[in-house]
Structures are given as C-alpha cells and as structure tokens.
C-alpha cells in the first residue's frame, strides 16, 4: 500500500549524476516502497531540477533508521556550521549541545 507521504522543499545547490553536475531547484522527500533498493518501505530523497528534464535527478533510498541517523548528523553539522558562521562574523555565538539520536 502506498503511504502518500511526500514533502517538497526548495533547493539551492548542485547534484551529480554520472560525470555531470547540475543545479538543483527542489528536493523531494518521500516514504514509500523502495523502487531500487532491496528493502521494504524507505525514505527516498530526490534532488532535482525539473527544468533540465528527467536526467537532472539524483535519488537515494534509505532505510528509516539510516534516515534518522542522517537527520541527526545533519542537525549536528548545521549547529556546528551556525556556530562557525557566527564566530567568523563576530556575532558571539553561544555553543549549543546537539545530542546524537
């Protein structure tokens, strides 16, 4: 049964497919049956630029546990980057503890 869980977010960055890089316009996050991984339901991340056609897509299928670990790693990296940006720009950041999941 399809879950119909889909979230779409604007994206600014680059993705690589094969040996070519392309600019991103959006990220699609979904929870549904795996299409390629030999797994059951997965979190799918699609990094796309619809204006460049179907070839401008980089997709990933992750187990739910792996997606949770990725989210925790992103939270830690973002917190560290926010602190670094504040320090570099002289805003006097106060460090925050981000716990691993």
pLDDT higher than 60, residue 101: no
Quick one: 34 and 46 in the same domain?
Answer: yes
Q: What is the pLDDT of residue 4?
A: 81
Quick one: 57 and 80 in the same domain?
Answer: no
For 7, the enclosing helix (H) or strand (E) is strand 5-10
Mean pLDDT of 7-26: 94
| Under 8 Å between Cβ of 9 and 25 | no
Quick one: 37 and 84 in the same domain?
Answer: no
Give residue-wise pLDDT tens across range 17-43.
889 899 999 999 999 988 887 888 899
Tokens of 25: 């316009």
How is 48-73 classified by DSSP, letter by letter? E-GGG-TTSEEEEEE-HHHHHHHHHH
Q: Containing domain of residue 94, as a range?
A: 63-101
Q: How far apart, in whole angstroms, are the C-alpha atoms of residue 32 and residue 51? A: 25
Could you tell me the pTM of the whole model?
A: 0.76
Quick one: 88 and 54 in the same domain?
Answer: no
pLDDT higher than 70, residue 82: yes
State the average pLDDT for the chain.
87
């Amino acid at each position: 049964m399809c879950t119909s869980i889909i979230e779409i977010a604007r994206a600014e960055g680059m993705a690589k497919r094969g040996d070519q890089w392309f600019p991103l316009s959006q990220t699609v996050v979904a929870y549904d049956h795996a299409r390629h991984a030999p797994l059951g339901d997965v979190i799918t991340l699609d990094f796309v630029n619809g204006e460049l056609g179907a070839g401008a897509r980089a997709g990933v299928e992750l187990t739910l546990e792996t997606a949770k670990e990725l989210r925790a790693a992103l939270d830690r990296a973002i917190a560290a980057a926010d602190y670094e940006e504040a320090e570099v720009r002289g805003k006097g950041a106060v460090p925050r503890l981000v716990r691993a999941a």
